[in-house]
A = this chain, B = another copy of it.
Amino acid sequence: MKIKGKHFQTIWLSEESDEIVQAIDQRKLPFVFEILDLATVTDVYNAIRDMAVRGAPLIGITGAYGIYLALLAYNGNKLNNYLDEVASYLKSSRPTAVNLAFAIDEVVKTCRNSTIKDAVSKALKKTTELKEKEVEYCSRIGNHGLALIEGIYKEKKRPVNVLTHCNAGWLACIDWGTATAPVYKASQKGIPVHVWVDETRPRNQGARLTAFELAEEGIPHTIIPDNTGGHLMQHGEVDLVIVGSDRTTVSGDVANKIGTYLKALAAHDNQIPFYVALPSSSIDWGITDGMSEIPIEQRDPSEVGFIEGWAKNQIISVRLTPEKSKTANYGFDVTPARLVTGLITEKGICKADKKSITTLFPEKKYLWQK
Contact = CB atoms under 8 A, between A and B. Distances in A.
A322 interface: yes
A207 B310 contact: no
Contact of A231 (B204, B226, B258, B317): B258
Interface string A48-69: 0000000000000000000000
B234 A259 contact: no
A159 interface: no
A326 B222 contact: yes
Interface stretch (A14-22, A132-140, A301-309): A301-309
Given A231-B296, A321-B211, A304 B225 contact: yes
B262 A230 contact: yes
A309 B320 contact: yes
A325 B208 CA distance: 10
A320 B259 contact: no
Nearest to A211: B325
Interface string A203-228: 01001100110110000011111111
Contacts of A287: none
Interface in A218-259: 221-232, 234, 257-259
A360 interface: no
Most buried by B among A221, A265, A317: A265
A327 interface: yes
Interface string A318-331: 11111011111110
Interface string A14-50: 0000000000000000100000000000000000000
Contacts of A304: 199, 223-225
A307 B305 contact: no
B311 A262 contact: no
A162 to B, nearest CB: 15
Contacts of A308: 318
Nearest to A308: B318
Contact of A222 (B322, B327, B333): B327
A192 to B, nearest CB: 16
Nearest to A214: B325
A306 B308 CA distance: 11
B324 A318 contact: no
Given A234-B333, A325-B211, A326-B221, A259 B228 contact: yes
Given A261-B266, A269-B265, A325-B223, A318 B319 contact: no
A200 interface: yes
B311 A307 contact: no
Contacts of A230: 259, 261-262, 265, 333
- A-B pairs, top 3 by smallest CB distance, nearest first, are A309-B318, A227-B259, A231-B333
Interface of A: 30, 197, 199-202, 204, 207-208, 211-212, 214-215, 221-232, 234, 257-259, 261-263, 265-266, 269, 291, 296, 304-311, 316-322, 324-330, 332-334
23 contacts: A197-B325, A200-B227, A201-B227, A202-B225, A207-B321, A208-B320, A211-B321, A211-B325, A215-B325, A221-B325, A222-B325, A223-B305, A225-B329, A226-B259, A227-B258, A231-B333, A234-B261, A234-B334, A261-B266, A265-B265, A309-B320, A310-B318, A316-B316
